[in-house]
Structure 1
Amino acid sequence: MKPVPRVLFMVLCLTAVAALPAADPMPMPQPMPAEDDGAIPRMVNMEEFEALVTNSPFTRSLGISDSLILTGVAHFEKDVYATLLDTKTFESHVVSRTPNYQGWQLVGVGGHSDEIQTWSAKIQVPGGEVISVRYQKPPPRPPRSKSGGSSGGGSGGSAPQLTSTQLSEAKTAAVNYKEGFSSDGYPKAPPPEMVAKLSRLSTSQRETINQQMLGLRNKGLGLDERRKIYEGLVDRSLQQR
């Protein structure tokens, strides 16, 4: 038998291959359905973080500083006093470099002396935490309850509010400012230089200062401390005229 020529052999092979049925394409592997077994992280839903975006813990103060505002800063030689107001309870606090009865201590003040809106104070509270309190205009005090002529202090060591007798004293002392009153820190009538300063204030300004001083006396501040704070409140009121 004669050998098949090489060219003819290749043609026969190609013809045989062409005659074979076409193979189906291999299907692509389909992803297995994910099971919520906690092992595979789920897609982030931004709606779940809406509360953090609107009330970020990095842009708001925490704890007691939420309701505290700075209402004044007074300098007396080497001493500095800051007055704070709790806008929830309307309780006033005085802090200095010496811890007060709550253990609050003034560790620094900031801002321009002639721009009250820039004032700030750093207060160290028990435990070592330092909070920053900025100046704000005090909100209007809620109306007094008509059930009783005076109200005692609440629980937790808060100072008593002014009684009707003390409010009357603050108003009377604002008119008769030359005579002084029980809470200005002077053992007798104020000195002539203080009388001259008081004469430049309005009666309503003197009455407001007197109410603050009566509140500080209710907190137990001593005579010398009250005198320094009283002089500072008068000087600051003159600067704001």
Structure 2
Amino acid sequence: MILTGIAHLENDVVATLLDTKTMESHVVSKTANFQGWQLIGVGGNGADMKTWSAKIQVEGGEVVSVRYQQPPKKIVRAASGGGSSGNSPPLSSSQINEAKQAAVNYREGFTSDGYPKAPPPEMVAKLSRLSVGQREDINRQMLGLRNQGLGMEERRKIYENLVDRSGQGRR
């Protein structure tokens, strides 16, 4: 298990973890996730991700420390006929199509972005600066989080963070 990200969102901190054996991503915050994992604290220099660490209380009360590590590059394959690259639980063909459609029609929003309706104008402006491919990748991640049972508010925060981070790479 490795720490892949920390986001400070309003009054909450969210950490993303990656199980490197299954390539399954997990999100933890001060509210226990569906696995019973809860973020106890984060450490390190916020400007230097190589120093990041997170203390996670897992089901049963044990507290484990997880350090940042660059996630392994994953092979993304186009799904045709329900094939899967073996990374996390595969999305259904209708979810893959939804991710593609939402990447093109980003002004309308979609089921997993964390907004009850269309995203607000400031988010639409940020999304407009991303490529269709970047938006589709974010959408696939968000569908995976929804499939894992993450609530709408948590998804919205993560979606906004992913959009912000993707936008930073296009300056």
TM-score, normalised on structure 1? Answer: 0.61
Letter in 2 for 1:121: A
1:100 counterpart = 2:29:
no
Are the aligned partners of 1:198 and 1:234 in contact in 2 as well (CA < 8 Å)?
Answer: yes
Deviation at 1:208, TM superposition (A): 1.7
Are the aligned partners of 1:75 and 1:232 in contact in 2 as well (CA < 8 Å)?
Answer: no
Deviation at 1:96, TM superposition (A): 0.5
Are the aligned partners of 2:33 and 2:150 in contact in 1 as well (CA < 8 Å)?
Answer: no
Which of 136, 146, 152 does residue 223 from structure 1 map onto? 152
Pair member with larger Rg:
1
Are the aligned partners of 1:109 and 1:122 in contact in 2 as well (CA < 8 Å)?
Answer: yes
Unmatched tracts of structure 1, length 5 or more: 1-67, 152-158
Residue in 2 that maps onto 1:134: 67
Q: CA RMSD in A?
A: 2.4
Q: Measure, in 2, the Cα distance between the counterparts of 1:89 and 1:228.
A: 25
Letter in 2 for 1:125: V
Unmatched tracts of structure 2, length 5 or more: none
Residue in 2 that maps onto 1:10: none
Q: Deviation per CA, 1:154-180, whole angstroms, max 9, x where unpaired?
A: xxxxx7421222122212222221121
More strand per residue: 1 or 2?
2
Letter in 1 for 2:93: S
Are the aligned partners of 1:105 and 1:124 in contact in 2 as well (CA < 8 Å)?
Answer: yes
Deviation at 1:142, TM superposition (A): 5.5
1:170 counterpart = 2:99:
yes
Deviation at 1:109, TM superposition (A): 1.3
Q: Measure, in 1, the Cα distance between the counterparts of 2:76 and 2:109.
A: 28
Q: Which 4+ residue blocks in structure 1 deviate beyond 6 angstroms?
A: none
Instruction: Give the secondary structure class of the aligned counterpart of 2:16.
Output: strand
Q: Measure, in 2, the Cα distance between the counterparts of 1:116 and 1:203.
A: 27
Letter in 1 for 2:146: R
Which of 52, 71, 75 does residue 4 from structure 2 map onto? 71
Q: Measure, in 2, the Cα distance between the counterparts of 1:204 and 1:119.
A: 29
Are the aligned partners of 1:150 and 1:163 in contact in 2 as well (CA < 8 Å)?
Answer: no
Indicate the percent of aligned positions where both proteins have the same amino acid: 73
Aligned length: 166
Are the aligned partners of 1:74 and 1:233 in contact in 2 as well (CA < 8 Å)?
Answer: no
Q: Deviation per CA, 1:203-233, whole angstroms, max 9, x where unpaired?
A: 2222221111100111122222211221122
Q: Measure, in 2, the Cα distance between the counterparts of 1:76 and 1:139.
A: 25
What does 1:3-82 align with in structure 2 at a 5 Å threshold?
Answer: 68-82=1-15
Instruction: Give the secondary structure class of the aligned counterpart of 1:75.
Output: strand
Which of 182, 186, 191 does residue 115 from structure 2 map onto? 186
User: For residues 143 and 231 of structure 1, do their structure 2 counterparts lie closer, same or farther at Cα, with a shift above 3 Å needed?
Assistant: closer
Residue in 2 that maps onto 1:14: none
Q: Measure, in 1, the Cα distance between the counterparts of 2:80 and 2:125.
A: 40
Deviation at 1:110, TM superposition (A): 2.1
Q: Deviation per CA, 1:101-160, whole angstroms, max 9, x where unpaired?
A: 21111011123333333322111112332222222232233677x996167xxxxxxx74
TM-score, normalised on structure 2? Answer: 0.83
Letter in 1 for 2:51: T
